[in-house]
Amino acid sequence: MPRELIERLWTRGREFLGVRYPILGGAMSWISESGLVSAISNAGAFGVLAGGNMPPEALEREILLTREKTDRPFGVNLITIAPNFPRHLEQVLALRLPFVILAGGLPPRGALARVKSSGSRLVCFAPTVGVARNLLREGVDALIIEGHEAGGHVGPVSTAVLAEQILPTIGEVPVFVAGGIGSGVMMVHYLLMGAAGVQLGTRFAVAEESPAHPNFKQAMIRASARAAQPTAQYDPRIPVIPVRALQNQGTRDFNTLQLGLVAQLERRQITAREAGRQLEEFWIGALRKAVVEGDVERGSLMAGQSVGLVREVLPVRRIIERLLDEGAAEAEKILARLRPTGGSA
């Protein structure tokens, strides 16, 4: 009965994605490559390849490799504010992918229409209610609402509040929930609220099939939820999207860089646009340093607050099985509370 309840709750997500489990793997630069993405899809969930700002030829290679490793559905995530986004968009349109996922705020004018006209299903991230409604007017096929608890670049609103604002009011398209989800317990509760499925990033970053350096994975396993903190913005003139990561020397280096750029801005030695570019370049390099090279002191350990629930390296299939087991146990508790009790009224 509990498993049947879950199956019923996520029917819309299953049908939209064409998978057994509408559990999306978060798109994480340097991590969500063909090996991890295909493992998630082959396990019955939905893998998502991270375009990030990788060289266009590398993105095409990863897409083709993923197609070789799985015949199951998967998506490609493109960051609309990435310098390589225009070339990435041309690539995915030429390859005619079944699913294209856009993140990074409202996409450039015309990008949504081009994806739709290519025949791809278009999924977009919505960090606020306003963005969600704008995207609906543009004709997106599905939404991912991602809250402040997520890892990496984060929006301003918590997952719980976004879910309360959006799930009861938006029924035109499937809505998937992301940010701070690390167990089947929360998965079931968001499904009960109307979610079509969920997305997990941090949990899959520590999967056996994840290409992340062993040092990176061990840092995640040792971390508490409170260790994953968002960066601060020191001057509103410099466009800084908060980044949630484990606190280390790398985050302190970022703060030092930001303060230095603010000083240069005051002396008119640099433009706000150039300062923002340097900050983004810092994260690109720092993330590679941690994930690929294993420098967990000066590299960027991007992680959501669900990192506090990650305690071991497991194969992707076992992670998904555990989510289902936890979800079924939680569903049984809910059903038990709803059953009539004996005795007179």
289-330 pLDDT, tens per residue?
A: 999 999 999 999 999 999 999 999 999 999 999 999 999 999
Q: What is the pLDDT of residue 3?
A: 86
The pLDDT of residue 344 is 47
Is position 96 within any domain?
yes
Taking CA atoms, 329 is separated from 45, 325, 334, in Å, by 20, 6, 9
Count of structural domains within the chain? 2
Query: Could you tell me if 126 and 180 lie in one domain?
Result: yes
pLDDT score, position 37: 98
Please indicate, yes or no, whether residues 72 and 178 belong to a single structural domain of this protein: yes
| pLDDT of 345 over the 60 cut | no
Residues 100 and 64 in one domain: yes
One domain, residues 97 and 245: no
What's the pLDDT band for 342 if we cut at 50, 70, 90? low
Say yes or no: 136 and 50 in one domain: yes
- With a pLDDT cut of 70, the percent of the chain lying above it is 99
What is the arithmetic mean of pLDDT over 55-81?
95
Residues 157 and 263 in one domain: no
Q: How many helices (H) and strands (E) does the chain have?
A: 14, 11
Look at residue 332 in the predicted model and tell me its pLDDT.
95
Question: What is the structure's pLDDT at 194?
Answer: 97
Q: Tell me whether residue 217 is exposed, middle or buried, using C-beta atoms within 10 angstroms of its C-beta: 0 to 12, 13 to 18, 19 or more.
A: buried
pLDDT at 39: 98
- 42-64 pLDDT per residue, tens: 999 999 999 988 899 999 999 99
Q: For the chain, give the percent of residues with pLDDT over 90.
A: 80
Whose tokens are 């601060």? That residue is 232
CA distance 200 to 182: 7
Torsion of CA 89, 93, 98, 100, to 10 degrees: 10
Mean confidence (pLDDT) of the chain: 93
Comparing 7-21, 147-161, 228-242, 248-262, which segment has the lowest mean pLDDT? 228-242
314 in the same domain as 182: yes
Residues in the chain: 345
What range defines the domain where residue 101 resides?
2-212+310-338
- My answer on whether 253 and 176 are in the same domain is no
pLDDT tens digit string along 90-137? 999 999 999 999 998 788 878 999 999 999 999 999 989 999 999 999
58 in the same domain as 189: yes
Q: Say yes or no to pLDDT of 1 above 80.
A: no
Return the structure tokens found at 236: 């509103």
Euclidean distance between CA atoms 11 and 248, whole angstroms: 42
The residues near 35 (Cβ < 8 Å, ≥ 6 apart) are 69, 209, 211
Same domain, 246 and 102: no
pLDDT in tens, 212-268: 999 999 999 999 999 999 998 888 888 778 889 999 999 999 999 999 999 999 999
Q: Of the given ranges (157-171, 251-265, 270-284), which has the lowest mean pLDDT?
A: 270-284
Residue 46 and residue 144 in one domain: yes
Question: The whole model's pTM is what?
Answer: 0.94
pLDDT score for 277: 83
Question: Residue 140 pLDDT more than 90?
Answer: yes
Q: In this structure, are 136 and 270 located in the same domain?
A: no
Q: Does residue 146 sit within a domain?
A: yes
